[in-house]
Amino acid sequence: DSRNYAIAAKLPMLEPADSTECRDFTMLAYELSETFDTPVILRLSTRISHSRSVVELGARKDLELRPYEKNPQKNVMLPAFAKPKHMAVEQRLLNLTEWAEKAGINYVEDHGAKVSVITSGISYQYVKEAMGDSVNYLKLGMAYPLPEKLILDFAAKAETGYVVEELDDFIET
């Protein structure tokens, strides 16, 4: 399960649920990378990679190419550079978690049901197809770091709650 790589590398991971989200999340990954000065993992499962759907093309953004700046203290993790960088990585994760709490890619679909489902990626499509609007959804577009407060608030309102995900019990844990 590639979501575990995000935890190990302390990198943000986005998980699209359809072809349109693949395009949107790719652009968002570049924005997050520039904003938080970090690589971003885009998690594509086999089912998403082989899916087809209509995707509306948007306007292309031509950005000016920035020159490469050689900076070993930032890019080479020798022990002398890694120790001070560790604090920056931990702070970046806190900042990303704060961003995830308010991000539009993590959202609630409230259908007034007693049953609630927390899900992400292709699992969202499976549950939506099977359950329709008979349950409430918390759809997570950011697989890591998880918006813990949003999850806890959503779960607190549920009479019965389920976490639906593929492979490891990543969200559940």
Quote the CA–CA distance of 108 and 97 in Å, as a whole number.
17
The whole-number pLDDT of residue 115 equals 97
Burial class, 126, CB count within 10 angstroms (exposed 0-12 / middle 13-18 / buried 19+): middle
pLDDT digits (tens, 9 = 90+) for 110-161: 999 999 999 999 999 999 999 999 999 999 999 999 999 999 999 999 999 9
| Angle made by CA atoms 46, 24, 14, in degrees to the nearest 5 | 55
Amino acid at 127: V
Quick check: pTM over 0.85?
yes
